[in-house]
Structure formats: C-alpha cells, structure tokens
Amino acid sequence: MKEYRSGIGYDVHQFAEGRKLILGGVEIAHDKGLDGHSDADVLCHAIADAILGAIGEPDIGYYFPPGEDHTAGMCSLDILKKAAELVREKPGGRLVNIDSTLVSEAPKVLPHAPAMKIKIAEALGIDPSRVGIKATTNETMGFVGREEGIAALASASVELDFSE
C-alpha cells in the first residue's frame, strides 16, 4: 500500500559578522553571514526538518546535535544527504518534492535560486525540477525586517510503499 506523507520545517538564524552567508549550499556575497554551529544554512535546515517530519523522525538536532565537535562548521548539504538517506531506508521510501521559502530583507536571494536548486537536488538525489525555492521579505517588520537574520520555511512530500 502506497502512502504519501508531507512534513514542514522552519528555521531561523541571526546574522553575524565574519561569517560567510551560505543558503541552499551556495555562498552569497553579503557583509554578514548567519550565526550557527554548522554553516548555518537556514534553507537546508528547514528542508531537512520537513523531510524528517514527513517520515516521522526527530528534527536535525537529534542527528546533528549543536555544540558537538563533529558538527562544528559542517556543510548543511550533508544534513540533507542524511535526511534523504533516512527516507530511502523506509519501505519504498522516495522523496517526491520540496517546496521552500526564504524570508529575508537583504540580500536578494532569488537570483541564486537556480544554483541552490541544483545543490539541494544533488544532495537529496532528486531532479532539480522537484525543488521549489521562493523568496519574500517581511515588509520591514520583526527581526527579519530589521535585517537581524533570515528565516526559512519548507515542506517535503515523500512516498512510502508498505506493500513490499
């Protein structure tokens, strides 16, 4: 019996001086990066949590605890690889698609979306056409509006087959 499941993910990181800005595995020119134990790729983190939620697993902190030496500075594309691996371990597990939204006043991220889609798709082992990336602002409201950080939301759809 085939089942289709969906999951949602959300992540947020503050800006920090002296860090690279990495979104969707792509380095983006900006005067600040995002603060975090890993590379702080807020988009990859939201996508990973959406995938993990779709298969009923704990969030990324369970698999990649912040503050541990082996996760320090790690590339968040590796987090996506682990999430995709966990999907494939499920009976008939297949990642169907990802949809995501970055919420940021600056920098403009949409010009980088095609490169992000390729990096994310490669990490997940799916075609880039199955990865959606959108961008919006917070209309100058809240911490995002004050340019204190970036937020990301994501959804993931997976197919499982329990008839095997």
For residue range 59-89, list pLDDT tens digits in order. 999 999 888 888 888 999 999 999 999 999 9
For residue range 86-130, list pLDDT tens digits in order. 999 999 999 999 999 999 999 999 999 999 999 999 999 999 999
Q: How many domains does the chain have?
A: 1
Looking at residue 123, which CATH number applies to its domain?
3.30.1330.50
Place of tokens 């994310």: 120
DSSP state, residue 74: -
Domain of 109, in residue numbers: 2-161
Question: Taking 70 as the threshold, does the pLDDT of residue 164 lie above it?
Answer: no
CA distance 83 to 158: 12
In this structure, which long-range contacts are made by residues 85-88, counting pairs with CB atoms below 8 Å and at least 24 apart in sequence? 86/51, 86/52, 86/55, 86/57, 87/51, 87/54, 87/55, 87/158, 88/125
pTM of the predicted protein model: 0.96
